Amino acid sequence: MNKQASVHYITNVNDEAQLRKGHTMQIRVRFAPSPTGRVHLGNMRTAIFNWLFARHHGGRFLLRIEDTDRQRSHQGAIDQLLAEMTWLDLDFDGDPLYQHTRSDAHRAAADRLMQAGHAYAYANGDGDAAVLFRIPLDPGPEYSIVERERISVDIHPDVPVTISSAGITYAAISRKGKPIPSECCLAGMMRLKIVGDNGVVRYDLGKDPGAVTDGQPPVTVDNGTTLSFIRRDVRFHDLVRGDLSKPLDSIKDFVIVRSDGHPVFHLANVCDDIHQQITHVIRGDDHIENSYRHVLLFAALGHAAPAFLHLPMIVNREGKPYSKRDGDAYIGELREAGFMNSTVFNYLALLGWSPGDDREKMSRADIVNAFDVSGIQLSAAQMDIRKLQHMNGQYIADLPFDAFLHGVEQALAEQPWARNADPAYFREVAELMQSRTKQFTDAATWQYFFVDTLSYDDRLVGKHIGKPGIRSAFAQLLTALREIAFDPEPIESAIHAVTDDREIPRGKFNLPLRIAVTASNTGAGIYEVMALLGRDRTLARLTHAVDSLCADDSEQ
């Protein structure tokens, strides 16, 4: 078989040092999503890692839209994907490749595989035949197949073994002695012998190779108790995980063209990687099983496989795949929830990769410069929405005020109270709240600055304002606040005077006071908040608390 000789493929992590020394090579990676819905965090994290790898090495980052499933793929999903990549500043090189435009090339590749004996037509039922890729029998190195040793597998004697050019079917034995239907590719059981009772060889495939050629009827063998065969592994090298292998007796021949004539993922993916001259395939570790099959397809099509790198999956706090029920699972949701693009990029870049030190908040340029595949972890990456919120708060705090104000105004565009607010007063509130804001959408909680009537949480009121002594303390504070300049320092002094007089720990009084004047248990410093609310609004809310919210503590 002819192989491409013009491209050098990295096969281990240490080859990155060769690149830094000027080794001639053009890195070419691709992001290849299927446009069937919203883009999951895991998909975009894959895009980011591919982008970082290409930019770090001065290579090319290509976009391939894998839209061969024409029924599920739709333009709306493509538009959203492109918008979200733009939002994250993930620029790609050249024009996107739409996979459906290469269907003829995929079918032509299937025809070549059939002509070479690497694929065959298979009809299961009355419909048209699909095309299956034949796992190769030839143990040559171009197939990444390694021969191990002869092994024996016990099988259920009541179920016949069937051998055909499409594979081997048999029944394994459960712990309770029940038959377990099983099958594998013909190549998975090299030099197969079916052994019966007393060690009698009931069938020897090595002596009858013509029985499994295309077009021959299946061979059925009864009363077998053991399958004896040479076990072989298919192997490939992962840049992070090292050498990975899988026994061929656990793999079946697989469909590459459906019975309706449409190429499937495996064939289209490999053909387009060859077409785009992809040097490195960086994708989630849920594709490891696919990679075992793909290295064989690359070889059968006459091309060396690219280097592989499989990223750890993203999980929730319980170690399960991160999904919608865990929170914002899609990039668009994070954007809608008020996260900054720089935060999301930074966080996802560190989700499964480390720069080798304790840095977390990093500029895009610093991440590109530091990105090295040796920093990619093997274990699953845990999505922590609280950590993401904290990081976003850091990015928001560092924004120029006008940029922060613009983000807040966009987040509140549908809020009447925000649209009707006095611009100068709104700026004052935003200046106070910027350092306390973790997401732009947090600004929806600022409503208490702009309305006269609040909605109180009965649970918070009962737990904090309904305590004995709070009503009389509020009444005393009301008197004091009427007599002072309404600025943070005098307000603080007046509050301390009340708490000291009543021997209330200072920190214990501020939370009930905050709930009374804001109907919230979080926010900026209460002294600054009260000053910004103003004397009239603050006194009116404290009066309402005394009259309607506080418990009667007249007997205290």
- Reported confidence tier of residue 7, pLDDT bands at 50, 70, 90: very low
pLDDT in tens, 389-403: 999 999 999 999 999
For domain 401-549, give the fold: Arc Repressor Mutant, subunit A (1.10.10)
For domain 1-128+256-398, give the fold: Rossmann fold (3.40.50)
pLDDT of residue 15: 52
Q: Are 41 and 329 in contact (CB under 8 A)?
A: yes
Q: Is the pLDDT of residue 327 over 80?
A: no
DSSP calls for 258-273: -TTS-B-HHHHHHHHH
pLDDT in tens, 403-421: 999 999 999 999 999 999 9
Tell me the two tokens of residue 214.
């295309």
pLDDT of residue 147: 87
Q: Is the pLDDT of residue 10 over 60?
A: no
Exposure string for 155-186, b = 16+ CB within 10 A, e = fewer: bbbebbbebbbbbbbbbebeeeeeeeebebbb
> How many Cα atoms occupy the beta-carbon half-sphere of 71 within 13 Å?
1
- Reported confidence tier of residue 126, pLDDT bands at 50, 70, 90: low
Which amino acid is located at 354 in the chain? S
pLDDT in tens, 22-69: 445 799 999 999 988 888 999 999 999 999 999 999 999 999 999 887
Instruction: Summarize the confidence of residues 285-312 as an average pLDDT.
Output: 95
Report the C-alpha gap between 166 and 45 in whole angstroms: 38
E-state strands within 101-258: 119-122, 130-133, 145-154, 161-164, 167-173, 179-184, 190-195, 201-204, 219-221, 226-238, 242-247, 254-257
The percentage of residues in the chain with a pLDDT greater than 70, rounded to a whole number, is 92
Which residue carries 């292998």 as its tokens?
245
pLDDT of residue 22: 41
pLDDT of residue 125: 66
H or E, element range at 283: strand 280-284
Mean predicted lDDT score pLDDT of the chain = 90
Backbone angles phi, psi at 523, to 5 degrees: 150, -165
Which residue carries 């739709």 as its tokens?
74
Tell me the two tokens of residue 69.
């499933």
Residue 119's DSSP bridge partners are 133
State pTM to two decimals.
0.88
Sheet holding 179-184, edge to edge: 179-184, 167-173, 161-164, 219-221
Backbone angles phi, psi at 174, to 5 degrees: -75, 175
Q: Is the pLDDT of residue 276 over 90?
A: yes
Report the C-alpha gap between 208 and 222 in whole angstroms: 17
Q: How far is CA 452 from the centre of its chain?
A: 44
The CA distances from residue 503 to 88, 307, 347, 498, 510, in Å, are: 54, 71, 46, 8, 14
Domain with CATH 1.10.10.350 in the chain: 401-549
Report the C-alpha gap between 373 and 53 in whole angstroms: 8
Domain with CATH 3.40.50.620 in the chain: 1-128+256-398
Backbone angles phi, psi at 514, to 5 degrees: -60, -45
Q: Is the pLDDT of residue 6 over 70?
A: no
Exposure string for 296-334, b = 16+ CB within 10 A, e = fewer: bbbbbbebbbbbbbbbbbbbbeeeeebeeebbbbbbeeb
Q: How far is CA 477 from the centre of its chain?
A: 53
Q: Are 225 and 144 in contact (CB under 8 A)?
A: no
pLDDT of residue 12: 38
Which residue carries 């016990």 as its tokens?
154
Residue 97's DSSP bridge partners are 64
Report the C-alpha gap between 491 and 211 in whole angstroms: 95
Q: Is the pLDDT of residue 142 over 60?
A: no
Strands 242-247 and 201-204: unpaired
Instruction: Summarize the confidence of residues 354-364 as an average pLDDT.
Output: 94
Which amino acid is located at 248 in the chain? L
Report the C-alpha gap between 494 and 498 in whole angstroms: 7
Question: Regarding predicted confidence, which is higher, 72 or 135?
Answer: 135
- Reported confidence tier of residue 128, pLDDT bands at 50, 70, 90: confident
pLDDT in tens, 538-550: 999 999 999 999 9
Instruction: Summarize the confidence of residues 131-141 as an average pLDDT.
Output: 79
User: Cα(first)–Cα(last) distance of the chain, in Å?
Assistant: 95
